[in-house]
């Protein structure tokens, strides 16, 4: 099988790594995906637009997966060096 679970794991890991390293100052602010750019919310209510959900997803990945990604990347690199 050309596209197995191992390849799918690598693709998901690389996509999560790509989202985790996005810089707010250099990239996200330039395209308008900054957490403070949502001006439509009133009285603490959150918008349910696609843009606000993408902003929340990026900030959640950067906040919650930073430390686990380091360990997972070390394990994958070790696996590839030893058995790859």
| pLDDT of amino acid 80 | 92
Can you tell me whether residue 46 is helix, strand or coil?
A: coil
| pLDDT of amino acid 69 | 92
The residue range of the domain holding 23 is 5-38+46-83
Going by pLDDT thresholds of 50, 70 and 90, the confidence category of residue 45 is low
| pLDDT of amino acid 57 | 85
- Give the mean model confidence (pLDDT) for residues 53-69: 86
Cα atoms in the Cβ-side hemisphere of radius 13 Å centred on 63: 7
Q: Mean pLDDT over all residues of the chain?
A: 82
- Tell me if 17 sits within 8 A of 10, measured CB to CB: no
* The length of the chain, given as a count of residues: 84
Give, as one character, the DSSP assignment of residue 22: -
Q: How many domains does one find in the chain?
A: 1
Q: What are phi and psi of 6, to 5 degrees?
A: -65, -45
Going by pLDDT thresholds of 50, 70 and 90, the confidence category of residue 12 is very high
Cα–Cα distance measured from residue 34 to residue 46, given in angstroms and rounded to the nearest whole number? 14
């Amino acid at each position: 099988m050309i596209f197995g679970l191992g390849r799918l794991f690598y693709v998901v890991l690389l996509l999560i790594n790509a989202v985790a390293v996005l810089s707010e100052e250099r990239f996200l602010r330039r395209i308008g995906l900054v957490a403070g750019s949502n001006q439509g919310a009133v009285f603490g209510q959150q918008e349910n637009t696609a843009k606000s959900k993408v902003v929340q997803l990026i900030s959640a990945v950067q906040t919650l997966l930073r430390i686990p990604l380091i360990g997972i990347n070390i394990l994958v690199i070790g696996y590839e060096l030893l058995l790859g």
